[in-house]
Amino acid sequence: MAATLSTSPTPTASANWQSIAVRHWPLLGGFLVLLLPTLYGLGREVWSMEIGAHGPIVLATGLWLVSQRLGDMRAKAAASSPLIVALLLLLSLPLYIFGRAYDFISLEAAGVYGTMIALVLVLVGWRALRDNVFPFLYLGFLVPPPGWLIDQATAPLRHFVSAAAMGVLEPFGYPIQREGVTLFIGSYQLLVEDACAGMNSIVGLTAITLFYIYLMHSASWRYSLLLVALIVPVAVFVNVIRVTALILLTYYAGDAVAQGFLHATTGMVLFALALGAMFGLDWLLGRTIGHRPGYRA
């Protein structure tokens, strides 16, 4: 598959962007007023937790992707419909205001994201955004999913992971029992929470895997869909390993050890393992079906 190179900004294109920034400085300044407090809130409330640990990575790599597409966006820049921009702002700004006022970081971040899309439409227009849409969709992973959505999505995963972990340990003679998502081993009782049920891994793993697919396999959408379909099974499998490890840590070392530093450590190690598994599956599938990556640089 032939390599696909992105258009990097030339000195002339950079000068054009500078002139655009000067011309639209009130819009850019207003957007920064919204963005910076929200980034601080994300860093304090979300990125310090497992569900948002991928946030800084997505922000850095997403901005890099946007920088690689600046030349192409400038070349395709055209006027956009004021009506579409106005509708986006009418939806996004109330979300931001409500989320900011009542400390709903998901709504606040969604409002900033919608405002960003409106700003991009003002600067370069619909065609340039459409032809370079992936970096902006990818930045959407910075918007944390609301808690109720996480609870609904992880409910079946919690049951599956707890049952699978018990199925792994029971044949080895461990005194383990299960009631719903509660596991009993020895004198200890463990609740399989969202952090161990796969959702946190799925969100971050999806973001990083999509970034990898965009760079390596964007020329083949069928193969890309195959890799995307493997994300959930890999994340669930890795979380079964994680819950099993935490059960064993609790059984042999006590609840304080398992739920302390080692709880977070197993999460980081197994997230890295999930990424490694995705890359390994990509390599194995490539050798099996003869697929060659189409690079974006």
Query: Which residues are identified as catalytic?
Result: 196, 242
The DSSP secondary-structure symbol of 176 reads: E
49 phi-psi bin (left φ>0, alpha ψ -120 to 50, beta other): beta
Burial environment of residue 220 by CB neighbours within 10 A (0 to 12, 13 to 18, 19 or more): middle
CA 282 to each of CA 127, 215, 225: distance values in angstroms, whole numbers, following the listed order: 32, 13, 12
Q: Is residue 190 within 8 Å of 250, Cβ to Cβ?
A: yes
- List the Cα angle 2/4/234 in 5-degree steps: 90
CA Rg, the chain, in Å?
22
